[in-house]
């Protein structure tokens, strides 16, 4: 009886792995979640393209650095930006420029070329692209993307500003944490490519 059960389980395992579902395990990744006054945003990362930026951002999220920080810069139809306040001393990262600015790109802010010709990234500040921004490609480090919660990003981008890109009302990042996440979008892309072969 035990042999029969083991044989059935082995057969089911072979069927499961043969259909490609085991491949789906590759699409579990560590994500960062931000709970804001306007809703939740989840980020996934480009570990291979920008390992220093990803590691730095995950470290900041993991230790709660962004908790209580506001989105201090909002430019309609361009970007929303957060990450710095008076408690942050300046730090910078070597640029890891390569990815383009697509809708929902997560990138590192930096000081302008006139005082930062090496294009080093700010160690704390980040921004999210509200649309493709080819004019920023090759100039800033893109290190992740919005995997969930772009509706939250849009809500934040719709807040009124004072004419200097500063929102009239603070929109806070209330809580941040790292969490395992099944990236369904990447998995869907993988399965479509596999089926077309």
pLDDT of residue 121: 97
Closest of 146, 147, 138, 132 to residue 101, by C-alpha? 132
> What does pTM read for this prediction?
0.82
The CATH class of the 26-182 domain is mainly beta
| Cβ contact 35:176 at 8 Å | yes
Query: Among 14-23, 70-79, 131-140, whose mean pLDDT is lowest?
Result: 14-23
According to the per-residue pLDDT averaged within each range, which of 11-20, 37-46, 86-95 is highest? 37-46
Q: What percent of the chain has pLDDT over 90?
A: 69
Give the tens place of pLDDT for each residue, 24-55: 566 789 999 999 999 999 999 999 999 999 99
Q: First and final CA of the chain: distance in angstroms?
A: 41
What radius of gyration do the chain's Cα atoms show? 20
Please enumerate in sequence order all residues whose Cβ is within 8 A of that of 39, keeping only pairs 6 or more positions apart, or say none. Answer: 149, 151, 152, 155
Residue with tokens 């259909």: 19
Rounded to 10 degrees, the C-alpha dihedral 76/121/105/57 comes to -120
Residues 83, 126: Cα–Cα separation, whole Å: 6
Q: What is the pLDDT of residues 104-144, one digit of tens each?
A: 999 999 999 999 999 999 999 999 999 999 999 999 999 99
Q: Which of 135, 130, 144 is nearest to 79 (CA)?
A: 130
Quick one: which of 140, 150, 51, 41 has its CA closest to 99? 140
């Amino acid at each position: 009886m035990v042999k029969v059960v083991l044989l059935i389980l082995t057969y089911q395992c072979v069927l499961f792995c043969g259909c490609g579902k085991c491949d789906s395990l590759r699409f579990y990744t560590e994500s960062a979640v931000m709970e804001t006054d306007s809703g939740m945003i989840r980020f996934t990362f480009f570990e291979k393209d920008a390992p220093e930026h990803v590691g730095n951002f995950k470290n900041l999220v993991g230790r709660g650095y962004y908790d209580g920080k506001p989105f201090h810069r909002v430019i309609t139809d361009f970007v929303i930006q957060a990450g710095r306040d008076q408690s942050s001393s300046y730090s910078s990262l070597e640029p890891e420029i390569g990815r383009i600015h697509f809708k929902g790109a997560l990138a590192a802010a930096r000081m302008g070329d006139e005082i930062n010709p090496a294009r080093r990234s700010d160690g704390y500040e980040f921004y999210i692209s509200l649309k493709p921004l080819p004019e920023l490609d090759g100039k800033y480090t893109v290190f992740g993307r919005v995997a969930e919660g772009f509706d939250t990003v849009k809500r934040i981008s719709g807040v009124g500003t004072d004419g200097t890109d500063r929102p009239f009302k603070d929109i806070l990042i209330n809580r941040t944490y790292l969490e395992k996440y099944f990236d369904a979008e990447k998995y869907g892309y993988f399965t479509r490519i596999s089926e077309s072969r």
